Amino acid sequence: QDFKEQIIHHVATIILISFSWFANYIRAGTLIMALHDSSDYLLESAKMFNYAGWRNTCNNIFIVFAAVFIITRLVILPFWIMHCTVVYPLDLYPAFFGYYFFNFMMVVLQSLHIFWAYLIIRMAQKFITGKVVEDERSDREETDNSEEEEEAAKNGPLSNGHPVLNNNHRKTD
């Protein structure tokens, strides 16, 4: 459901990292990568345990992920890194196109972080209140039965259009 946001996020991140090298904002680009990586591996671990069926481990990792995500992307990024990219360069150099472009991309990235934090907090709220927790972003189609499974449920199991053999014997009805 958030495919467009993911594309915008990846494009903005690639532009920020590339531009940080071109405009000599190497420290800012490196810190942006480090902040994003600090919570990304937790999300992937939670997904892995969810797919494996380890619900308690998945839920515990999700709680740690939510805390790390909010601290790094809603506290450290705007109040430390963005502050340094907005305020300090003007003390040393006059503003140039790259300054505005870089900080605009940072604002785009931060806006997406706020959007995802809202989804994460909503999931955490459902988790705490005991409601069923699903990935807020995922489509419902991923968990729905496929057409073949629905057809098999209606007409019995089929394999390549032929009845499935049971213990190498045909079913006699």
Which tens digit of pLDDT belongs to each residue from 38-56? 998 999 999 999 999 998 8
List, for residues 142-168, the tens digit of each pLDDT value. 444 444 445 444 455 545 555 555 555
Residue spans of the domains in the chain: they are: 1-53, 54-134
| CB 57, CB 134: distance < 8 Å | no
- Reported residue count of the chain is 173
Paired tokens of 2: 């958030």
Q: What is the pTM of this model?
A: 0.70
List, for residues 104-134, the tens digit of each pLDDT value. 999 999 999 999 999 999 988 887 787 765 5
- How many C-beta atoms surround the C-beta of residue 68 within 10 A? 17
| CB 77, CB 110: distance < 8 Å | yes
Residue 163, strand partner residues:
158
Q: Which positions ≥6 away from 105 have C-beta within 8 Å?
A: 12, 15, 16, 19
> How far is Cα 48 from Cα 55, in angstroms, rounded to an integer?
10
> How far is Cα 85 from Cα 30, in angstroms, rounded to an integer?
13
